[in-house]
Structure 1
Amino acid sequence: MNNILKLIIIVFLVYSTVIYANENIFNITSQPNIGAKSYILIDYNTGIILTEKNSNETQKPASLVKIMTSYVIGKALVKGKLHRNDIVTVGKNAWATGNDEFNGSSLMFLKIGDHISVKNLIKGIILQSGNDACVAIAEYISGNQNNFVNLMNFYAKKIGLKNTNFKNVHGLDEEGQYTSAKDIAIMGKCLIRDFPYEYSIYKEKYFTFNHISQKNRNLLLWDKTLNVDGIKTGHTENAGYNIIASAIKNNMRLIVVILGDKTEQDRKKNSKKLLNWGFETFRTINPIKKYQKIATIPILYGKHSYVRIGIKHNVFLTILKNQEKKIKILYHIKNNKIFAPIHRNQILGHLTFMINNHIIGYYPLIALENIPKGNVFVCFLDYIRLLLSKWIHQ
């Protein structure tokens, strides 16, 4: 357990009931005033919503669609269906001059018959927001854009998006294509978590292809007061100015999404305001590391008389600054008698983190080791102990 945190540990070796409080543990009265149609600010590590406005309302995504395009590309790379050094031949559907829908939109400026590597197409999508690059790689992976869009919608459901539907691979306005600020935040979180290499490209500021150099449209990357390392902007006349940005400070990563802002400068100013407010108001703490020993508990009929217990994943908690001393840990074991054999990762109970009777984290407690059954002599002694225990408590 992290000794820096003065946590109060309450131990229960029987089943316990935890009461969920209705109060808001954050109890924040002053929050940023943002004029965009919708927005959300979340803690990446915990998923806790720090502030939001209309975050479940559907809006037009514009180029934020390309985050899911990146996600599908990442899946294809991991599965070996695509390789970064593959060479793609550009077809007519990815040729801007031959497609009226691309007029005035963001492009990589591909031409029919161009031969371009997958790694350069990926940069063209991420850094130049190239609608033509999206079409070229979608056709290369799936044969046509419709098949690729089906993959986008498949993965959207798989990662838990509730208010999103894709109709194209690039984000230009189309009937039936929509998303929400909350869904975009989830999409960004999953991209960062599942494909860190792909995500690392989002912080690059420039990309040059065919002697045409273009600048990353995420203006927060140039802001020296924030450590922003991604991710994407978008704009159409109907969508307004959209952004998802992520920044890190003091081991805390925040993700902000704004949909439907009025101008490019408003988008930058408001996303910065939300990120700064989040960092000034909250902290993310990591009180327990994965597979760290939390305690030992007695077992019966085992080769060893105790088993070490811990948690399978790192524990992250989102709290207000200076709120550490209010945290309580409730440590529950499923049964008052645990019998061998015990298997590593076997769930033996759970750990609940609370502030003011409000649950802020809930994790299964697992065995950190295998404990085989003991020999006949050990089992006999434990059997006698059980008999004596029952006799004493009668």
Structure 2
Amino acid sequence: EAISHPAGLTKLAALYVAFSEVEAGNIGLDTMIRISRKAAEEADPTLGLREGQRMQLRYLIRAAAVRGANDAATALAGGIAGSESAFAEKMNQMAQELGLTQSSFRNAHGLTESGQYSTAKDMAKLFLALERDFKRDFHMLGKTKVNAKIKTVKHSGLRLLNDYPEAVAVKTGYTRAAGYCGAMFAKRGRHEVIVIVLGGFSTAKRNDQMMKLADFAFEKLSDY
């Protein structure tokens, strides 16, 4: 498996940790999180958070999951673990527990950082674990838009959701180092498939590749 920067797919790991912490009772969805300067200064895409602002965790999760908002991801990391580095430790512990043997995380948002990497296989394992362990929350990744309190945000993978009706959940990301990345959970009849693309050359080419891979998988599964 080729090692690659996972870009915004990193947020899948952040979401798994966030959902786990809520489920364990360590933090509540209505817990107010103070926005740090670091979070407020994150690069696009963002929700537009301001330093010192306070927002419930549930809205930060929605913005990070659907819009891919980097400021929301950093804010929820600090709110849950006290610091981004402490949250990254939780992400790496989670990765170890899920058997993501070729992944390492340094931040919650996925912007390029030395020592942060993954593979398509590990991302598929993570996506499957999210669907298995947090079914209700997982389906947030299939919503075309969500209320993030200060604004309604559209899904960063809206084009893919619209173009592929079988898509149940989608996560996308891009950095110069990672290229165009995407994760899709799709269902056709009784069959379900996960498609991961890392290092795509454009949004359109990535989406086209993901849809073709899903169609190929469904065609093969139709014999069973």
In structure 2, the residue matched to 1:137 is: 76
- The answer to whether the 8 A contact 2:10-2:109 is kept is yes
TM-score (norm 1): 0.55
Local SS of the residue matching 2:160: helix
1:194 aligns with 2:133: yes
In structure 1, the residue matched to 2:102 is: 163
In structure 1, the residue matched to 2:195 is: 256
- The answer to whether the 8 A contact 1:70-1:198 is kept is no
Residue type of the partner of 1:122?
I
Aligned-residue Cα RMSD (Å) equals 1.4
Unaligned runs of 5+ in 2: none
1:275 aligns with 2:220: no
2:162 aligned to which of 216, 222, 241: 222
Q: 1:211 to 1:120 in 2, by over 3 A?
A: closer
Deviations 1:175-195 (A, max 9, x none): 111100000000000000011
Residue type of the partner of 1:205?
T
Q: 1:80 to 1:210 in 2, by over 3 A?
A: closer
Local SS of the residue matching 1:202: helix
Local SS of the residue matching 2:49: coil
Local SS of the residue matching 1:233: strand
TM-score (norm 2): 0.95
Aligned-pair identity in percent equals 28
- The answer to whether the 8 A contact 1:153-1:165 is kept is yes
Q: CA deviation at 1:148?
A: 0.5
In structure 2, the residue matched to 1:178 is: 117
2:13 aligned to which of 68, 83, 91: 68
Unaligned runs of 5+ in 1: 1-55, 97-101, 284-320, 324-394
Residue type of the partner of 1:231?
V
Local SS of the residue matching 2:215: helix
Structure 2: distance between partners of 1:184 and 1:136:
23
Structure 1: distance between partners of 2:61 and 2:21:
12
1:91 aligns with 2:18: no
- For residues 1-394 of structure 1, the aligned pairs below 5 Å read 56-96=1-41, 102-103=42-43, 105-209=44-148, 212-218=151-157, 219-223=159-163, 226-283=165-222, 321=223
Q: CA deviation at 1:209?
A: 4.1
Between Structure 1 and Structure 2, the one with more helix by share is 2
Deviations 1:145-202 (A, max 9, x none): 1110000000101100111111111100011111000000000000000111220111
Between Structure 1 and Structure 2, the one with more strand by share is 1
Structure 1: distance between partners of 2:84 and 2:97:
20
